Amino acid sequence: MKNNLAVFFVGLIFALGLGISGMTRPEKVIGFLDVFGNWDPSLMFVMGSSILIHLISYRIILKRQSPLLTSTWNLPQNKNITSSLIAGSALFGMGWGLAGYCPGPSITSLATFQFQPLIFVLSMISGMLLFKWIDKFIKFKR
C-alpha cells in the first residue's frame, strides 16, 4: 500500500513535469522534431535537465544496499543492441512525429477528456496487443 502510494506520487510529479515543460502539447513536440523547418529547440532542455539530475542522483541512490521501500533493485539488464531495438525505436519515432504524442504525455492528456488523446491511447494499446500476438509466432529477440 505504502509502495503504491509512493509510486502514485512519482507518476503525479512526472505528469506535472510533462505539462510544465510543454511535452503535453503535440505542436511543441512536432516543432522540436521539425529541425529542417520552423525548429523549436526548447524541448531539448527537458531532456537536458532531466538527464543532468538523474545522471547524478542515479549514482548516489545506487550506493544504497536496497531501495527504501522494497528489498531489491529491479533494473533492466539487457545489454545487447538488437535489430528489434533499432526497428522498434524507428517505428516509435515515426508515430511520435505523426501525432506528437509519446506514451507518458498521451496518458496525462487523457485528463482533458478530449477525443484525440483517447483515440491515440486506445490505438497505442492496440499496437501493444498486436505486438503481443505477433510475438507468439515470431518470438522477437528484444
Task: For residue 73, give every residue at least 6 positions away whose Cβ sits within 8 Å of its Cβ, in sequence order, or none.
Answer: 62, 66, 67
Q: How many residues bind another protein (CB under 8 A)?
A: 112
* 65 near another protein (CB under 8 A): no
* Positions 30 through 59 that interact with another protein (CB under 8 A): 30, 33-37, 42-55, 57-58
* 136 near another protein (CB under 8 A): no
Q: Among the residues of 22-65, which ranges form H helices?
A: 26-33, 44-61
* 63 near another protein (CB under 8 A): no
* 137 near another protein (CB under 8 A): no
* 139 near another protein (CB under 8 A): no
C-alpha Rg value of the chain to the nearest Å: 18
* Positions 11 through 30 that interact with another protein (CB under 8 A): 11-28, 30
To another protein, the closest distance from the beta carbon of 113 in angstroms equals 9
User: What distance in Å separates the CA atoms of residue 125 and residue 132, rounded to the nearest whole number?
Assistant: 11
Between 72 and 137, CB nearer to another protein: 72
Q: Among the residues of the chain, which ranges form H helices?
A: 2-21, 26-33, 44-61, 83-99, 103-109, 115-138
